[in-house]
Structure 1
Amino acid sequence: MISVENLFYSYTKDEQYAVKDVSFEVKEGEVFGFLGPSGAGKSTTQGVLTGLLPLQKGKVTVAGYDLHHPDRKMFNRIGVSFEQSNVYGKLTALENLDFYRKLFDVETMEPEELLKLVGLSEVKNKKAGTFSKGMKHRLTFARSMINQPSLWFLDEPTTGLDPAIAGTIKDIVKEKNQEGTTVFLTTHNMFIADELCDRVAFIVDGEIKAMDSPRNLKLLHGNKMVQVEYRENGDTVKKLLDLSKEPERLLLNDIILRKDIEMMHTKEATLEEIFIKITGRELSV
């Protein structure tokens, strides 16, 4: 669905690259996460893939279209939800979607159905300029689905949303993916990426540092830890054991055989911890 080979991009049109020699593929039906801190090159890469930025150097195909020779028909197949909402403030929510659907040459979803999906039905006739930041974000998200895209670009889709609405957005993404939609997700939120993505790429300073499934990255770079709590001499004892070390495996076995265990569970590394370990960078940077 997406093929990127040796992509470079410079805003100053010199060798100060925001994206440097980036290569990856996204398979049809996959949820692919492009993960990194602010300024890492995520949005620049997405800008090239969606035709908002010109392809300067490299080879890129999106939904079967070569971006060296862009074709407007590509936009019938893709949907884009931007991190920064750009809805028309003087139009109502319903008018925003009615206007946008007319830009496509394919069958579109009903605007009222989309507004209901993201919880905006009750404000469908209110001007978008009166909306909160979160409501505008939901309207932008709804708009990105209107042409029923086969390839869906999502840039920080849950930013600024309360947990309940964020959960709804994640459920919609999962449902659309199960229906066959390919998803390209750019985010610095490792929890969302871990929950949604089949594969992820870590990007820092315009370069991809690692790429694999979240599970494989954890297995490869994380420690296998077990936390156990047990009773000893009337007190509760807590131990965190590293199962990659034989003495600690033997100790755990002894605790299981001889102690009164109250609680025991694995403590796998989070995707964020793996990101920091591989890249040496904090996501908030």
Structure 2
Amino acid sequence: MTAVIEVRDLSKSFGSKNALNGVNFAIGEGEIFGFLGPSGSGKTTTINILTGQLLPDKGESLIFGKSSQDLAPEDLKRIGLVSEDSGFYEKMTLEKNLLFFSKFYGVKTVDVDAILERVGLLDSKKKVAEKLSTGMKQRMLLARALINRPSVLFLDEPTSGLDPSTSRGIHELLLELKAQGTSIFLTTHDMHEATLLCDHLALLNQGSLVEEGNPQALIQKYNTDKAVEVAYKDGHKERVPFEELSSLGHVEEILTIHSCEPTLEDIFIQLTGGKLNV
């Protein structure tokens, strides 16, 4: 696998606070990489270093095989970024915002309607940006990041605060972009979202990686209690070990059978003793 993004022994401090402590990972072409952890764990700092907005104290970060501190304008045109600090022009319509940024990126031909349709905003293209809801602004920023057809897309909490329907639409779009070969760096503290989307992920806590791997592989790695929960029609439930399933009686009385495997959040709490939604 050819790495589109590489991070080697990356460290960064702000005063006495260690934001990153010797972080290492690599992201391949067409891969969705989840960088997961609670607020303040170092996720945004990593994005800022990777995109050349911040210098590391130690280590290096590379995009397209080049140091992220030495990216040329042509390299930057291959990168898309959505973060809480992404700007837009409040007094312009949604459509004019996208047309402006297409000129800014030097994109000669851009089908604004097609991009807006992909993020579910085509019917709102004449709305002034400041009048958009939080969810619509989030989708506008994603649309803006897609104008230059990026090879690498950085998404910093892209579905934070969005309703489930809007989040689902963004998930579908990200999987479509992945299929087209876009490498996606996704930061989130939503472990369910990461389980659905990510090919590979890293769990970050207080600036250090505590675990990484494929989501399902990690779940099975920490699935030490091999059992299912059986719910019966009369309302009672029981926990049944895998090896006893073949001898399970009264099958006609069973309502549901659910796996008792841990979630990614369970694993994170097991590793750190902390919670993610902070």
1:277 aligns with 2:270: yes
Q: Distance in 1 between matches of 2:213 and 2:53?
A: 27
Aligned to 1:195: 196
Aligned to 2:97: 96
Q: Distance in 1 between matches of 2:91 and 2:232?
A: 63
CA offsets, 1:64-86, max 9 Å, x none? 22124232222111111113552
Structure 2 counterpart SS, 1:240:
strand
Moved more, 129-138 or 77-86: 77-86
* Partner of residue 228 from structure 1, selected from 197, 216, 230: 230
> Which segments of 5 or more consecutive residues in structure 2 lack a partner in the other structure?
none
8 A contact 2:52–2:69 mirrored in 1: no
Scaled by the length of structure 1, the TM-score of the pair is 0.89
> Which segments of 5 or more consecutive residues in structure 1 lack a partner in the other structure?
244-248
- Per-residue deviation, 1:49: 0.8
Instruction: Note the 1:69-84 alignment, pairs <5 A.
Output: 69-84=70-85
8 A contact 1:87–1:136 mirrored in 2: no
Moved more, 172-181 or 3-12: 3-12
Q: Which amino acid aligns with 1:176?
A: L
Q: Distance in 2 between matches of 1:224 and 1:107?
A: 57
Change in CA separation of 1:206 and 1:107 when aligned onto 2, cut-off 3 Å = farther
Structure 2 counterpart SS, 1:20:
strand
- Per-residue deviation, 1:29: 1.3
Instruction: Give percent identity, aligned residues only.
Output: 40
Structure 2 counterpart SS, 1:139:
helix
Change in CA separation of 1:89 and 1:185 when aligned onto 2, cut-off 3 Å = same
Aligned to 2:14: 11
Q: Distance in 2 between matches of 1:76 and 1:20?
A: 30
Structure 2 counterpart SS, 1:17:
strand
8 A contact 2:93–2:126 mirrored in 1: yes
8 A contact 1:55–1:68 mirrored in 2: no
Change in CA separation of 1:9 and 1:255 when aligned onto 2, cut-off 3 Å = same
Change in CA separation of 1:114 and 1:217 when aligned onto 2, cut-off 3 Å = same
Scaled by the length of structure 2, the TM-score of the pair is 0.91
User: Pairwise CA RMSD of aligned residues?
Assistant: 2.0
Q: Distance in 2 between matches of 1:242 and 1:203?
A: 32
Structure 1 counterpart SS, 2:70:
coil
Aligned to 2:169: 168
Change in CA separation of 1:225 and 1:108 when aligned onto 2, cut-off 3 Å = farther
Moved more, 219-228 or 41-50: 219-228
Structure 1 counterpart SS, 2:18:
coil
- Per-residue deviation, 1:103: 2.2
Structure 2 counterpart SS, 1:208:
strand
Whose Rg is larger? 1
Q: Distance in 2 between matches of 1:55 and 1:71?
A: 19
Q: Which amino acid aligns with 2:227?
A: M
Aligned to 2:254: 262
Question: Number of paired residues?
Answer: 273
Structure 2 counterpart SS, 1:102:
helix
Q: Distance in 1 between matches of 2:237 and 2:60?
A: 54
Structure 1 counterpart SS, 2:71:
coil
Q: Distance in 1 between matches of 2:161 and 2:80?
A: 21
Structure 1 counterpart SS, 2:229:
strand
Structure 2 counterpart SS, 1:18:
strand
Q: Distance in 1 between matches of 2:227 and 2:87?
A: 45
CA offsets, 1:45-77, max 9 Å, x none? 011111222243212111222124232222111
Structure 2 counterpart SS, 1:284:
coil
Change in CA separation of 1:92 and 1:238 when aligned onto 2, cut-off 3 Å = same
